[in-house]
Chains A and B, each alone.
Chain A
């Protein structure tokens, strides 16, 4: 069994409630932080831990925290990004639903470290049923003295609120999230200034993912070094992986970074192998935005080394032969899967979710969806495949926020690794119903 840090007590009956959570050592990090540590010392521990943002970008959390401006007399805010909307990703939902107090505890300890006296959890509107769960947990935390005025007699005050969105993937981008929290459309802001300087209501703000905030709890409890001792290289600690698609055991798994992809897919501890004994065709390893990889390249790098579940190993080979850990949204596709059809669902998604501010993204995502629709309906040409490639290349890097890149990469990687399948679709439209015969890659 791999080591568990965040989900150590997940199987404890009643862990969703305060009493059981507290009995298993819950809220110890708040006590330790406000009674024995300075905010600076906590930031140091987080830096030492090597924790990287778990929402997808993988930016070092301690560094992000150290950028926070601290002008006299100006409020600072911590905002938790619970807008989880990256297709293939459902680990924050799992964490908030099963062990909500871990997020509340992480918010309190992190807010203390950042000197925030008001903090918000921005949660996607579709997760309304989790709003109930979080509100109840927050109420319990207030009732037990972990929130409010003068927490544990330390003189530190904190109010924590849940703020609900209303359906917009773009609000997972941190500046769009802040716009949305202010009651506006979720249009990403031009950066700089970054939120650490001018964020919520123009005040210095840190925005962190749910899993990132939760990881602060064990880092404060056991020290940054202990956290950094888990994992591999610069991929320290554990990662929650959302596993879905054609596997026997879909679900959320906490893995120690550095296990092999092969172990993750085939062992009974995790995905339990491919559904119905079929062969593996492809994997999207880190949420819809990251490049899709064919079976052979997800299991081994181009150099023939075992591919590992870590930031570095998954990106080994760059985009030519590698991908990214991203949000940990791990979508597995068996031999019957049409890569073109799957790509169409992604293209439709990004078209739907583009905020429309930047022309390359607004127009490009629409055209990519249209062209794929045309190809899927038997009217595509070889020139369409080239056009798709050209459009994605003109979106990438030409937008205010990373949604443009996120829309471009799945298209680029699908064509890069499965071009024959696109060509077969346009040369022989009858093949659209018979996808399984047209591979240009090794099945495993």
Chain B
């Protein structure tokens, strides 16, 4: 049996949260909840477990339920484990007009998973999403913070190829996202 590990942010992430809290007036630290949940997701394998959300709540001195109700409202927060590479494909109107359905079908076939599923090796998760504001460069998909636009099926193949070899987790934010002062 593995020991229960104490959940804690890396010192850099902890420091970042303290900096973000200072962006809001005294006593309004709850405003930092969404950014802090993003940081938590980046720290802990791309998803938010209940213990992780409890930890976030304790950092912001709010009740755990306040973190749960927010995490479950916003589509970018994953409440179940996801693959190392989370592929988010837009399929609303403009993307649909320019072939988003073909992109989704292609990925489903290639990875042998359906929308919302993760490959058995834990490498890829496919998630269809609603308009990401890339309508003029449709079809598109997002991996981490990166937009991949004007997609062709060949481009999709090389992205999958590239990520197959990577050991990284796709992330929305990194050390350069927020300014240091």
Contact = CB atoms under 8 A, between A and B. Distances in A.
Interface in B88-110: 91-94, 96-98
Interface of B, helix, strand, loop or mixed by DSSP:
loop
Interface size class of B (residues with CB under 8 A): 35 or more
A227 interface: no
Given A341-B96, A349-B131, A166 B75 contact: yes
Contact of B133 (A90, A168, A342, A352): A90
A164 interface: yes
Interface of A, helix, strand, loop or mixed by DSSP:
mixed
Nearest to B134: A90
A118 B37 CA distance: 23
A185 B73 contact: yes
Interface residues of A, number: 65
B176 interface: yes
Contacts of A124: 133
Contact of B94 (A163, A331, A341): A331
A345 B92 contact: yes
Contacts, number: 161
Contact of B93 (A159, A161, A331): A331
Contacts of B35: 163-164
Contacts of A243: 136
Nearest to A124: B133
A93 B179 contact: no
Contacts of A184: 30, 66, 69-70
Contacts of A169: 130-131
A301 to B, nearest CB: 24
Interface in B29-62: 30-35, 37-38, 60, 62
Nearest to B32: A183
A195 interface: no
B8 interface: no
Interface in A7-36: none
A292 to B, nearest CB: 10
Contacts of B129: 167
Interface of B: 23, 25, 28, 30-35, 37-38, 60, 62, 66, 69-70, 73-77, 91-94, 96-98, 129-138, 142, 145-147, 172-173, 176-179, 181
Interface of A: 75, 84-90, 92-93, 118, 124-129, 131-132, 135-136, 138-139, 142, 159, 161-169, 180-186, 201, 242-246, 250-252, 284, 288, 329, 331, 333, 337, 341-342, 345-346, 348-349, 352-353, 355
7 contacts: A90-B135, A166-B75, A166-B77, A201-B28, A242-B136, A245-B97, A331-B97
